[in-house]
Structure 1
Amino acid sequence: MRFGMPWPGRDVAPEAEQAGVGAFCAGDFVDRDAYLTLAEIVSGTETALAGPAITYAFARTPYAHATALRQLHAQAPGRLFLGLGSAAFRINRDWFGVPGDHPVDRIAETAGAIRAWLHAENGARVQYSGEYYSIDADVRAPVLGRLDIPVLLAGFNTRMAATAGRVADGVIGHGLFTRSWWDAVVRPAVARGAAESGNTERPLEYGWIITAVDDDAPERAIADARRMIAFYLTVKTYDPYVAHHGWQEPVAQLRSAFRSGDTEAMTAAVTDEMLTEIAVCGTTSEARKALAARAGSLPQDIGFFAPPSYLVSRRRRAAYARASLGLLDVIPATS
């Protein structure tokens, strides 16, 4: 595997790439656009892989996703990947004003329709027919040509993970993923999906690793990691994951604290076991030991050192990104 990180900005990126960071990823939120960030990544790096991990699948049409990737491919050929996430139902409905029902089936078609645009050859019609998308484009300008850009789906629960194996090139794991969740739930589901499609290639595995390293203030780094875990676990979509690990009681506590606005209690509800299974944090020495212990629980291809973002300033996130460079040699990189 190789290590990457969410885009740390132009100040940190050259140092990170030179140190051995092999991939940078971008994301969507109300104050940032994944493809605009991706444009900054490809212009500010030389060899690292680059892509959304993730972009909101339904916030754009398949055409818009593919067009952005085609333009960026001209600047970074062979370096791009696409990570798609379905987002929560209310985000699709209330933020984007688009349907959010049947997210698994819908994202499967989204991936297929994007591929129809990416694989289109000059002179051929771009066609895709499904329940949610119908495309029949006769593009006369000579601007196409097949692009084999890997498409991955953010697969947390079994059905989405199986869909990633069936219709995509692989899966992007959440920062909450543990060794047990990868091995007992996600990998078997992805393998089932790949088998259903007849795909003989091993599905790609990318994933996030909650990482907060600070030799001067390790307690703060640990607290930031706990708070990030707590914030993620307020989402009921992850209830099967919580039950799988037997963490119902602390999760009930942190959700109650979140509803009442008690951030300290929410953070404190994350147990030491949860922290150890999920995050890499503390001093550099502690983080190196934690990462080595988690070697079998990491994605096989790319692990993104992801600084906590919930109630963490941009400046501190950049400091965490730079500090994570001290972890790059813990696990030997493979191509």
Structure 2
Amino acid sequence: MEWYLPIIWAGLIATAVALYVILDGFDLGMGILFPTTREEARRDEMMNSVAPFWDGNETWLVLGGGGLWVAFPHAYAVIMPALYLPVIVMLLALIFRGVSFEFRWVAKPRHRMWDLAFSGGSIVAAFAQGVILGGLLQGIRVENREFAGGAFDWLAPFPLLCGVGVVAGYGLIGCCWLIMKTHGPTADHARRLAPLFLAAVGICAALVSIWTPASFGRIADRWFSTPNIYFLWLLPAATAGLFLLAWHGMRRGRTALPFFCTIGIFLLCYAGLAISNFPYLVPPTLTVWDTAAVPASQIFVLIGTLPLLPMILGYTVFVYWTFRGKLKEGEGYH
């Protein structure tokens, strides 16, 4: 087997997941922030701030899931039965959220049901994504290269903590997005909430950082063995620095700084999880090479994928550039 092909595909899938978390994170954050205000103008402005982007952001989720199925079919066959229930809940929540995004405008003034669907779908989808992440990180029981656990193995304290952390993280990036994209009362409301979400994310990140090496020997060995410990400490130090910089930007009334600091926090936490688990795609037993498709399949799909990536990135950049700048109250794209 060409050893480099699984590495390339793992990199592509990891990039797609990271872009999904960042780009879809702030528009899921709008639904998470919905219950924090009952003012119709604030809720309209929240939805209008992400209206041009939200459906395109989910392209990266499709790419990540499809890439896993094509490039690592054995991992897909193990992960899906282990996490089937939270995956189904996530997909149903995203459907409810997407439908409510479109129907909320045409149902006015009788749109309370769609407000609940938008907010509930966003919160449940974010929580389910965290549970999926936590269920994967805590390890999936595999025997004879097949899933050997139960349907509710994911229903444990660590995955539930990860679910809460992802909800807090999406709420934080949603607040920072509104600070950057809106004026007046909506931006002020987000600025008041942002430090609370930042504190919640910091607490969850600290708990996960302590819990993982304390509970999983493979992760403790990765971080605290020599010579790893001499340079890996830079990652948590940089993350702590970004937390302080984000808090400073919020206190000083900066508009873009908290958003980009939050993106940096997300990426560093993501890098920490990758360092903790690579090369295992199904921790703690199956690596990217164990679960990879045959080289011919990987090459065939890679030939089609690589030309598409610049196109997807291109239209994503074009849309964000076209709708750059702050949204004025009363403006909308629906």
Q: Return the TM-score normalized by structure 1.
A: 0.27
Point out the structure with the larger strand share.
Answer: 1
